[in-house]
Amino acid sequence: MKKLQLFSKASQGASVLLWIWTVAFLLIAGAVNAQEEEAAPEKDTRPIRNTFESIWLIDNQTVMVPIKGTFEFDIQHRFGVLTNGYDDFWGLYAPSNIRIGLNYVPVEKLQLGFGFTKERKTWDFNAKYALFQQGRVGGWPVSVTYFVNAAFDTRDKSLFPKDTYEGSDRLSYFHQLMVARKISDKFSLQASVSVSHFNFQEQVPTDVPEVTQKMNNDHLALSFLGRYKISSGMGIIVNYDLPMTSHEVNDPNPNLSFGLEINSSSHAFQIFVGQNYNIVPQLNNMFNWATNPEPDFLIGFNITRLWNF
């Protein structure tokens, strides 16, 4: 009987000990989980701020769409190429190209705009929509934005071959899908694919009088953008455009541009050295060979001014 009692007490003691260890293990596990939950930041899927400081980065649109009610005024200027050196003061006194543009954001994520460019006397009408926006913590890992424009060449008819460049011949279109990520507070990257379409096949003169060769109507290109902030109001910017379509005559040149961006809450100023002169994106991508055949570099700048209503 005593043996049974001792065995029973030993069993009870083992059960109590097992229960104590189980409770202790659960408490320790709970404490560890609580610490892990405290260490892990809570998800914040609100759109990340300022992937870029402007809707433009040198020659390309960025994924940025300003907040609803934003009115924007753009001035884009390209001097002549540096080839002639002192003769035209490294392009500063050479013929320049200028675009003046206006944009408005009527609803969240959608921007509408238009502009007029000196080269080819081109009017462009555009729209940009933010399909997805990178989350601050969690949410979408990248921002994705779609840009489209239609441009109308208003030069005099006498500049073109007889019975050409009438009506819809003057229209061109541009479609671009942009993917960007703000990697850190200082560093952002963007890659884009674009399609340019011209209703009129550009006719390029040859060595034989009255004989021309025609370019393709469509052109595919890639672009890559980067910005690194060196202070709260200044950053280094880089832009590279890579043509993908091979034309029977005059393949477009790639474009490399780099410079500085200075920004405030309502302004962005970019000054840079690059190889594109045309400003309107489909003209830059299709006809870089025509306005910069070397290719050579030129000085340019962009100014944007924002108002909120």
d(CA 70, CA 193): 27
Asked whether 254 and 216 are in contact (CB, 8 A), the reply is no
d(CA 113, CA 128): 9
Asked whether 302 and 270 are in contact (CB, 8 A), the reply is yes
For residue 204, the model assigns a pLDDT of 73
User: Do 215 and 287 belong to one domain?
Assistant: yes
Q: What does the pLDDT average to over 50-74?
A: 96
User: Do 125 and 18 belong to one domain?
Assistant: no
User: Do 161 and 136 belong to one domain?
Assistant: yes
d(CA 148, CA 153): 17
Q: What does the pLDDT average to over 221-241?
A: 96
User: Do 12 and 56 belong to one domain?
Assistant: no
For residue 150, the model assigns a pLDDT of 97
Q: How would residue 15 be classed by pLDDT, with cut points 50, 70 and 90?
A: low
**C-alpha pair distances (Å), 117 with each of 73, 97, 128:** 14, 7, 19
Beta bridge partners of 222: 193, 242
User: Do 110 and 236 belong to one domain?
Assistant: yes
- 3-state DSSP assignment of residue 303: strand
User: Do 133 and 183 belong to one domain?
Assistant: yes
- The pTM assigned to this predicted structure is 0.82
d(CA 180, CA 227): 11
Residues 6 or more apart from 64 whose CB is under 8 A from it? 50, 51, 52, 53, 54, 55, 145
d(CA 180, CA 33): 35
Cα torsion angle, 5, 8, 12, 18, sign: positive
For residue 209, the model assigns a pLDDT of 66
User: Do 116 and 260 belong to one domain?
Assistant: yes
User: Do 112 and 257 belong to one domain?
Assistant: yes
Among the ranges given (31-40, 73-82, 223-232, 273-282), the one the predictor scored with the smallest mean pLDDT = 31-40
User: Do 130 and 208 belong to one domain?
Assistant: yes
d(CA 207, CA 90): 31
User: Do 49 and 76 belong to one domain?
Assistant: yes
For residue 14, the model assigns a pLDDT of 44
Q: Give percent of the chain above pLDDT 90.
A: 63
Q: Which tens digits make up the pLDDT trace of 144-181?
A: 999 999 999 999 888 777 777 888 889 999 999 999 99
The tally of domains found in the chain comes to 2
Using DSSP bridges, classify how beta strands 171-182 and 143-153 pair: parallel, antiparallel or unpaired. Answer: antiparallel
CATH of the domain at 234: 2.40.160.40
User: Do 110 and 8 belong to one domain?
Assistant: no
The identity of residue 73, as a single letter, is: F
User: Do 27 and 52 belong to one domain?
Assistant: no
Per-position DSSP letters for 236-298, written without gaps between them: EEEEEEEE-PPPSS-PPPPEEEEEEEEE-SSEEEEEEEES----SHHHHHHHHHHH-SS---E
For residue 158, the model assigns a pLDDT of 83
For residue 3, the model assigns a pLDDT of 40
Tell me the residue range of the domain where 60 lies.
Answer: 44-308
For residue 180, the model assigns a pLDDT of 97
